[in-house]
Amino acid sequence: MENLWFAFGMTLAAGLSTAIGGLISVGRSNPGPRFMAGALGFSAGVMLYVSFMEILPKGIEELSEAWGTVGGSWAAIAAFFGGIALIAVIDRLVPEPINPHEPGSIDDPEVSAQRRRMMKMGTMTALAIAIHNFPEGFATFISAMEDPQLAIPVAVAIAIHNVPEGIAVAVPIQQATGSRAKALKWSFLSGLAEPAGALIGFLVLMPFLGPVTMGVAFAMVAGVMVFISLDELLPAAESTGRHHTAIYGLILGMAVMAVSLLLFL
């Protein structure tokens, strides 16, 4: 429990990095395809590396302590693919016009027109963002509760991911309303869904927190992050037409995450 405030602070900081994306979108009237490809590829590289090299192994370790090496490993892998299935179902349930993760929603005039119509349904948009950001906020929160050193690279990974997400939210709103203030406000508010999701998740799971719960949660979160990277970030990066920039960003993201993890050994 002594890590509660630290965990919430890390989650809040990671979530509010969407405001950085909002600031970038306000400063750039139309972020170029090379910038978007590199940023989204970088984010995917960070999330893939930290998922496979840090979060999933942490889940296997926790579950192996409870159920042995064989049982714990099987349970972790099942939870990993369970996390993928969960976020895939959520992704299917959220309509594309209000889904902030859908590839092509950043610089597509047709989707921008859809965004303008959906601006009248602000609560629906907020709900869509909250649904997608909930597991990310919970990932940071449980990481900090279990291991503060692990929480830092996880928070960095999610924060980096949230920067282009903030752009994805702010750019169409600015195009729809012509207001930079509204674009910045919505990118800021979308980030608040993460600490809110972490708090709700903690309150619901608090009576059940333990090695098994933490292990399952870590493995599922790794699956969620891998799905987001492969289903949303990379396709969005590729849709800019800058294939090599996206791949270079992916590799650079992995390298930066690898170095950041080595610094905490």
The response to whether 165 counts as a known ligand-binding position is yes
Residue 144 banded pLDDT, cuts 50, 70, 90: confident
Q: Is 136 labelled as part of a ligand binding site?
A: yes
For residue 82, pLDDT beyond 90: yes
Region 21-38: what's the mean pLDDT? 74
| 194 labeled binding residue | yes
Please indicate if the annotation marks 162 as binding a ligand.
Answer: yes
Residue 161 marked ligand-binding: yes
User: From its phi and psi, is residue 162 left (phi > 0), alpha (psi between -120 and 50) or beta?
Assistant: alpha
For 174-229, write each residue's pLDDT tens digit. Answer: 666 777 788 788 778 877 878 877 787 777 766 776 788 878 888 988 888 888 78
* pLDDT tens per residue across span 106-140: 455 555 544 444 454 333 444 444 545 666 677 67
pTM across the whole model: 0.66
Q: Are 223 and 80 in contact (CB under 8 A)?
A: yes
pLDDT at 1: 57
Instruction: Quote the Cα angle for 78-72-83, to 5°.
Output: 25
